[in-house]
Structure 1
């Protein structure tokens, strides 16, 4: 596709020419999926990212069935499946008591499970595929200005370089420069809780093929398997530390897990903390500037939908951009927004409900668990939750 050979600024007979059809700002899962899909369609795209290679400390760990379906035509799904851990069950528990079990095994898909894989591995697989298709990521490149006119977009970087493109896609996350330059509002708010995240080695009562959401009286904790015998722990904590200790993670599991001493923390491999927001861009498009992924929507990690929503955005947007760059009316980009923004609203609403239920005041948690245990016995409820968590409900 000639990505690596594109000149940053081409001038022919005094006129600035396009360096690339599409400039993708952000090389996370959304930007890389978009670039792969555009390359597969024969569209010239250039990907830039502000981070140096290997600087990803992101938190996403779930690739759901629908994302694997849309990545299959790009020859990426099989690579992820080969590396990840298949978790065919999702359970909500009150200590040792199971309230709801969602079994993905019966879903009508070739991927009847949640695939557990660190985001860094997902990005590595997407980057490998992009390079096979002739693409690359230029980094570090920090966008400082995006100016559009009827003929195209000029993007300026902090090192003085410029790129001329027909369209710019902001896949640059919650603090998107492209969204800010486009003047698009990012409506919503933030949750009060801070969250601890730790990748740990455990022994004890921890099934490998299951993602567990503990809704104990002491609070919420997620325990999820990752490759290499590692488990990811996520828990709301008052003023979570930047580097959680093994002792703190053990305390959380003892007070919120199946029972004191039933899960033992042997080692903390990596840890962090974060806060979460719930926001949606007022529009996904301003002229030649288009948003996707966390630049367009951000929400609670409850249900593991964030990265998946962005990957699915990217595949739909690539189809629209391929048609538009081939001469179709650019109103197709509005169709992309009209298709994907309602999905984001639905996901934000679902994850908000799950988060608020999970972080109810302590006195209300026993009543909540009794209610959840009751609805968890209803097969239709379990089936509906399976369709939502797998993303299959958003098939078009």
Structure 2
């Protein structure tokens, strides 16, 4: 019996895979999206949506819904305890989204799934891919339960341990940061509700950012992060790294996890009729909140490229866009790795670092450039291989 066929098979239904599915479904393409998990995540995980991401998702009916459910933070500040080193205001961005939007990954996924269903799509779960059999006209995917699906193209959006990347034989080059990262969503007293703060300190970095529902996201680099950080652990992080004049008080830990900070980029994002996007293609430290945003950019731009190719355009466009996306990923991974290293300078280098940062923070150009880089707006037109938008 012939395998069911589709234009594009998307493997992985996190925010990145779902974004690709929404793009293709809105264009009326035959699209199938599968995920190995029996249900979507109900954890916070990625919590930052930047202006460029909102711009890209706007035409697919997603951004307005995200904004309605998230917390707008118009300011990002780098501090050493109470001392402001660099304020990075977003209110001057050349965009209608002059802020960073804080919203849990679970909420982002739910909104994307809702939009996909409106467009007639749905996620097939659970479905674990075990084989990819390419030929000149497409790829046949085999799943653990024996099912087979034939597609003109396959998108791997299945995370840093991507099966699609491994089956396609794409090397994943890079390393792992010596520190691990703890993530926690907590209820705090005496924490800013309209500002994302990156604290540098002698003990290391900690990020404090507001979330919907009166919560705050805490991210910190530590020697060995606990699997499930408790209130005592998070309070110690804030006491040793955060504000001193009016320290934040932890009332409750709602969610917590730990992550190793890899910095890797796949050798190619395009191999025959297989494309990889998101964490399957690039991973880095959570500092700066770039990971999910970079992946959604991949999804939208490569989804649009696939639409053009399936409509009769040259398949060379896929390689052009994939190469442009890889160049962007390499730059972002390098920038985030440097930021993580600077944040964790030892005591002997800390005074000079603070002096350099505080002097740089006085420059409008530096503040504007940082805002453009963090928001992703600096990547407009530089990562799309000539696609509009």
Partner of 1:33: 19
**Residue pairs, 1:16-27, within 5 angstroms:** 16=2, 19-27=5-13
Q: Aligned partners of 2:350, 2:180: CA distance in 1, in Å?
A: 19
**Residue pairs, 1:160-309, within 5 angstroms:** 160-204=146-190, 206-259=191-244, 262-309=247-294
Instruction: Determine if contact 1:217/1:366 at 8 Å carries over to the other structure.
Output: no
Q: Aligned partners of 2:228, 2:245: CA distance in 1, in Å?
A: 23
Instruction: Determine if contact 1:219/1:362 at 8 Å carries over to the other structure.
Output: no
SS at structure 2 position matched to 1:105: coil
Residue 116 in 1 paired to residue 122 in 2?
no
SS at structure 1 position matched to 2:288: coil
Residue 78 in 1 paired to residue 64 in 2?
yes
Partner of 1:315: 300
Q: Aligned partners of 1:291, 1:335: CA distance in 2, in Å?
A: 14
Residue 129 in 1 paired to residue 115 in 2?
yes
Q: Number of aligned pairs?
A: 381
User: What is the deviation of 1:261?
Assistant: 6.0
SS at structure 2 position matched to 1:59: coil
User: What is the deviation of 1:375?
Assistant: 1.1
Partner of 1:382: 367
Q: 1:174 to 1:58 in 2, by over 3 A?
A: farther
Q: Aligned partners of 1:134, 1:54: CA distance in 2, in Å?
A: 18
RMSD: 1.2
User: What is the deviation of 1:57?
Assistant: 3.6
Q: Aligned partners of 2:74, 2:15: CA distance in 1, in Å?
A: 23
User: What is the deviation of 1:365?
Assistant: 2.1
User: What is the deviation of 1:152?
Assistant: 1.4
**Residue pairs, 1:341-380, within 5 angstroms:** 341-380=326-365
Q: Aligned partners of 1:181, 1:334: CA distance in 2, in Å?
A: 19
Q: Runs of 4 or more off by more than 4 Å in structure 1? A: none
Partner of 2:85: 99
- Name the TM-score, length of structure 2 as normaliser: 0.96
Q: Aligned partners of 1:335, 1:292: CA distance in 2, in Å?
A: 14
Instruction: Determine if contact 2:3/2:148 at 8 Å carries over to the other structure.
Output: no
SS at structure 1 position matched to 2:121: coil
Q: Aligned partners of 1:252, 1:240: CA distance in 2, in Å?
A: 11
Partner of 1:89: 75
Unaligned runs of 5+ in 2: 382-389
User: What is the deviation of 1:58?
Assistant: 5.7
